[in-house]
Amino acid sequence: MYPPSKLPNVGTTIFTVMSQLAVEHGAVNLGQGFPDFPVPDFLVDELSRAMRDGKNQYAPMTGIPALRQAIAAKTQRCYGRKVDADAEITVTSGASEAIFDAVLAVVRADEEVIVLDPCYDCYEPAINLAGARAVHVALDPVDFSVDWQKVRDAVSPRTRMIFINTPHNPSGAMLDASDLAALADIVRDTRILVLADEVYEHIVFDGRRHESVLRYPELAERSFVVSSFGKTYHCTGWKIGYCIAPAALTAELRKVHQYNTFCSFAPAQWAFAAMIDAQPAHYDELGAFYQEKRDHFARQLASTRLRTLPVPGGYFQLVDYSAISDLPDTEFCRWLTTEKGVAAIPLSPFYETPPPGQRLARLCFAKNQATLDAAIERLQKA
């Protein structure tokens, strides 16, 4: 009676599953990646002001001009690239929508898209719904670096797009200038486009520089670069992101966007426009803010049997739990949630083929100190 599923391998996301399990068992939720500390007061005040001022109806499909202009100015300030606020910036309902729109706009049936495993779980469903095929290339299982020869070997005449994600979710690994040069060499003189997921762009540590695709003209001219206000301003529930792409690619993305969400929450757009202009120190200092949390959390974890992996960027800490258990990661994370009261995310759902014997879990340290302290007290007993 019903047609076959278009996404037969997709169920409820691991993030939803683990968060629900955390609620059911009263666990400290270090699984799903959302902050539990306040949104900046200035941003809340500007949101309230916009609503009181009557800015509550549909925003322009592309995003309000003030916000697109603020994004353009910020892009030039951060990455030295001048972008056209009218023709090259689109405000979306979160980064996930931007990713979906970009794929559906340019990827056709029977084409291929290269993704680097472990990869965020919204990538492949978008590719599948476009009628295309995700080609998975595994990152190094120890340091999550890219073997660019493997990427080159995965390219075929059907390759339409390559996804990159830096800082990387779930590992926190970051691409450097040599990585971007290798990517540019692969796509040069081809029809291959790039989708750069850069939602953690301002959460980088130890004096490192975020190597945005926007810094590299050769790559920027064939890329969709996706960013998230939710990650930068601690308000993931507002679901506002944006995509920067050359005018021709932006025109195609907007054809999908206008029939997907059409536009995004208007009062928040006004608030973000004001925040970017008035308080650039927020994103300038975000790395230092999270580095303090990263370092303190790592010191706390040293009192447990979990072994921490390096975290160059983002707000997730990978831990090796092999000293505690030999359970596969999904089973371990369920046990940790139900028996020890701390929710974590397993890595295997981020892979097509998880590395054999990998015993890693992801913990989110974008939490207030009381939350992290409560989690550590429970993890010390694991």
Pairwise CA distance, residues 368 & 344, whole Å: 17
**Residues 322, 234 within the same domain:** no
Q: Please give the structure tokens belonging to residue 198.
A: 């850069």
Containing 307, the helix (H) or strand (E) segment is strand 307-308
Do residues 53 and 27 share a domain? no
- Please check whether residue 3 lies inside any domain of the structure: no
Q: Which residues of the chain have pLDDT under 70?
A: none
Question: To 10 degrees, the CA torsion angle through 305, 306, 310, 314?
Answer: -140
Kindly report, residue by residue over 266-304, the tens digit of the pLDDT. 999 999 999 999 999 999 999 999 999 999 999 999 999
Q: What CA–CA distance (Å, rounded) separates 212 from 201?
A: 8
Both 121 and 253 in one domain: the answer is yes
Quote the pLDDT of residue 293. 98
**CA-angle at 348, arms to 345 and 352, nearest 5°:** 140
Residue 328 lies in a domain: yes
User: Roughly how many angstroms between the first and final C-alpha of the chain, as a whole number?
Assistant: 49
Q: Is there a single domain that holds both residue 195 and residue 50?
A: yes
Element (H, E) at 24: helix 14-25
- Does one domain contain both 45 and 31? no
Query: What pLDDT score was predicted for residue 97?
Result: 98
Say yes or no: 126 and 230 in one domain.
yes
Q: Are residues 159 and 256 in the same domain?
A: yes
The count of other CB atoms within 10 Å of the CB of residue 359 is: 20
- 8 Å CB contact between 211 and 175: yes
pLDDT of residue 288: 98
In angstroms, the CA 202 to CA 200 distance is 6
Domain membership of residue 6 (yes or no) is no
Write down which residue in 229, 264, 279 finishes a domain. Answer: 279
User: Element (H or E) spanning 333, and its range?
Assistant: helix 329-340
174 with 233, same domain?
yes
229 lies in the same domain as 355: no
Q: Which residue has the tokens 């799903």?
A: 32
Q: Is the dihedral of CA 319, 320, 325, 328 positive or negative?
A: positive
In this structure, is residue 22 part of a structural domain?
yes
Q: What is the pTM of this model?
A: 0.97
Residue 16 is predicted with a pLDDT of: 87
- Mark whether 106 and 212 lie in a shared domain: yes
Final residue in a domain of this structure, among 253, 279, 305: 279
Cα–Cα distance between 338 and 322 in angstroms, integer? 18
The domain that holds 329 is classified in CATH as 3.90.1150.10
Domain-located, residue 5 = no
- Residue 289: its pLDDT value, please? 98
Number of structural domains (the chain) is 2
Tokens of 115: 């993704």
Beta bridge partner(s), residue 204: 313
Instruction: Output the domain CATH number for residue 192.
Output: 3.40.640.10
User: Considering the domain boundaries, does residue 113 fall inside one?
Assistant: yes
Q: Is residue 191 in some structural domain?
A: yes
Answer yes or no: are the C-beta atoms of 379 and 30 closer than 8 Å.
no
99 & 228 share domain: yes
Q: Kindly state whether residues 22 and 124 are assigned to the same domain.
A: no
Residue 257 lies in a domain: yes
d(CA 165, CA 170): 10
Of 245, 264, 279, which residue constitutes the final position of a domain? 279
Q: Which structural domain range is residue 164 located in?
A: 41-279
Task: Report long-range pairs for 275-283 (Cβ below 8 Å, ≥24 apart).
Answer: 275/40, 275/42, 275/43, 275/46, 275/233, 276/67, 276/70, 276/71, 276/73, 276/74, 277/70, 277/73, 278/42, 279/40, 279/42, 280/74, 280/77, 282/40, 282/232, 282/233, 283/74, 283/78, 283/202, 283/232
